Amino acid sequence: MRELYINKQAVWTEPAVDDAEALAELKAGFPGRSARRMTRLGMQLSQVLREMAIGEACSLVYATSYSETCTIEKFLDSFPYPSPQAFQTSIHPGGVEQFLIQNKQAVTEFFPLAGEGDLLFRALETALLCAGETVVLCGGEERGSWLKGSGISSETNYAWALATQRTRSDATVGRIAWHGLAEAEGDASVLPGFVAALQSQTAYRYRAPAGGEMELDWSV
C-alpha cells in the first residue's frame, strides 16, 4: 500500500459554456498585462498553485492529457499560411512553467507528465519517488472547440492542485492510498471523478480494470 497525505487542496472550474465573460473574469485575477503573455491553462493553473505554499524545497508533478489545447487550435487554424505568432505561442512554456516564471519560483524537481488512461496513477507514483520535502501535484485542461468535437480535448476547463507529504502531520486534511498500480491499467474517466471529489472533499474510490485500487479519504 502506497500513501500520500494531503495538506491542502485547490480546484478551479468554470461553467460548461465557454463565453467571454468567464475568460474576462479569469484574466481579472492577474496584474497589468501579465494575462496577455499567458495561455488559458496557465491562468487556470496559477489560480490553484497560488493557493499552495510552494518553496524551493518542493517537488512539482504536473499531469495533463492535452496541455494548451486552445493554442494548438489557433495555430492549426492558421494553415495553409501558418501564423508565426501562433507558432511562437504554441511552443510557449506550459501552464505550470508560466506560473513558476511569473513568480520567479525555483523548485527542487519538476516532472511534467502527459497521457490519458493511467495519467493520475503515474503522477501518484512519481510523487512518491520525489526528493522534495513537500510534493505538489497539479493538473488541468482547456476545453477545445473543434478538437473537442473530434474527441481529442477536454470537455471542460479546469485545474487542480494538492500539497502532499509522505507522513501524517498536524496539517494533514486527507489521504490518498493506492496499491497494485504497476500491474493495473487505468481509465481516462478516473480523473474527472477524482477532481470532483477534491473540490467537494468527498471520499472517492477507483478500482482499475486490470487490478489495483485507489482511495481518496478525508476522515484522517
**Mean pLDDT on 166-180:** 91
The three-class DSSP label of residue 130 is coil
pLDDT at position 17:
64
Q: How far is CA 3 from the centre of its chain?
A: 20
* Residue 106: CB atoms within 10 Å: 12
- In the chain, DSSP finds a helix count (H) and a strand count (E) of 8, 8
Cell reading at 93: 512554456
Global pTM value? 0.90
Give the domain extent around 112. 2-217
In this predicted structure, what is the pLDDT of residue 184? 67
Report in angstroms the alpha-carbon separations of 176 from 84, 121, 130, 160. Answer: 44, 11, 16, 15
Angle at 36 (CA atoms; ends 32, 37), nearest 5 degrees: 105
CB 83 within 8 A of CB 198: no
20: domain CATH number is 3.40.47
pLDDT tier at 16 (50, 70, 90 boundaries)? Answer: low
Q: How many domains does the chain have?
A: 1
